[in-house]
Chain A
């Protein structure tokens, strides 16, 4: 491979050269009597600088990934605290703390997973509540907080979820109460 080809390869490779390095390389294109030894030392220097550039890029990429993972972990963490209690006549009290939410509704197999069917009402302390009469049995449910599904962190999780997104579970026995 000729020196000229080697120089062109350096320009074509990724990552692109910094302006200073590009300028230094470009100067070698001038047909001046330059010794082969000097050319080789310059090429070695460019390769070394490029390795440093690649390492820095990988480091920045890894740091970015770590930061993104941390943000995802924080976002995925349930920030709302829920309460379920089952009273007389199978009336189940659902409650979730979501002070910043604009709307919260209850969705589950008892309302056809319809976000508009069972809205919760907001209390002054930032808690959202609703009382629902449920038949005996196991009921999968979730809260829809501003349109985003949120499980109840205090309830058991459904073991037979088919869609990769967990649901909470409440069990209502015949004469009321879990």
Chain B
């Protein structure tokens, strides 16, 4: 008797937690104007047919609604994100996770073309299969947004990944470059100097690894 009650309590708690989590992650479209909801649904249906994640599209629309943007601007932003996701899929391939696609879309949004992104993603092979490629993509898009040129940004990160850099080194690199740029350093120079510094650390840590090519 006690056991069955306990089971029911645990089951109830699980349901409650699940519902809170669902409420926290799903987008509520009930308050949207019908025309907007219909147009976003249509874009999302098209994305779904291409095996693209739809949640970021609804989140983008919800952001626009909350920020008071007009419907046309919201649809434009959602359409653009859908295109960025599509290009990210073309560059990263069918095996990319949803999180990698979202991060890849951000890189595309920063102006990188599909072939260059595809080439950069190929350095994924240098990482253990269990490791996500989200962080290298996030750092890449951030560097591009900070006006580091594509060649320097991709060379820096590819070099670091080939030498076993982990997410921790990449996020530190991102933060340090951002700080240097804010301090007046040229974006490309900041990226080169910081990359060299991390490479020196990695080389010390992994003696015997071949010398990194200069970027």
Chain A positions 147-169 with a Cβ under 8 Å from a chain B Cβ: 149, 156, 159-160, 162-165, 167
- A26 near B: Cβ within 8 Å? no
Q: Cα distance A177–B142 when bound, in Å? A: 17
CA distance A112 to B56 in the complex (A): 8
Q: Is the CB of A159 within 8 A of B66?
A: no
Do B25 and A112 touch (CB < 8 A)? yes
Name which of A41-49, A93-101, A131-139 contacts chain B.
A131-139
- Does B62 count as interface, using CB distance less than 8 angstroms? yes
CB pair B145–A165 under 8 Å, yes or no, is: no
B-binding segment of A12-20, A32-40, A67-75, A113-121: A113-121
What class of interface size applies to chain A in its complex with B? 20 to 34
**Interface with A: B103-111, B151-159, B189-197, which one?**
B103-111
Query: Which A residue sits closest to B69, measured CB to CB?
Result: A163
By the criterion CB–CB under 8 Å, are A112 and B28 in contact?
Answer: yes
State which of B68, B138, B166 has its C-beta within 8 Å of the C-beta of A171.
Answer: B138
Top 4 A-B residue pairs of the complex, sorted by shortest distance between their CB atoms: A112-B27, A159-B145, A162-B77, A113-B62
24 pairs across A/B with beta carbons < 8 Å?
A107-B66, A112-B27, A113-B27, A113-B63, A113-B65, A113-B66, A114-B23, A114-B27, A117-B24, A118-B24, A137-B103, A138-B138, A138-B142, A160-B145, A162-B63, A162-B69, A163-B63, A163-B68, A164-B67, A164-B69, A171-B174, A174-B132, A174-B135, A178-B171
Residues of A within 8 A of B (CB): 107, 109-115, 117-118, 135-138, 140, 144, 149, 156, 159-160, 162-165, 167, 171, 173-175, 177-178
Taking Cβ atoms with an 8 Å cutoff, the residues of B that contact A are 23-28, 55-56, 58-60, 62-69, 73-74, 76-77, 80, 99, 102-103, 106, 109-110, 131-132, 134-135, 138, 141-142, 145-146, 166-168, 170-171, 174-175, 178
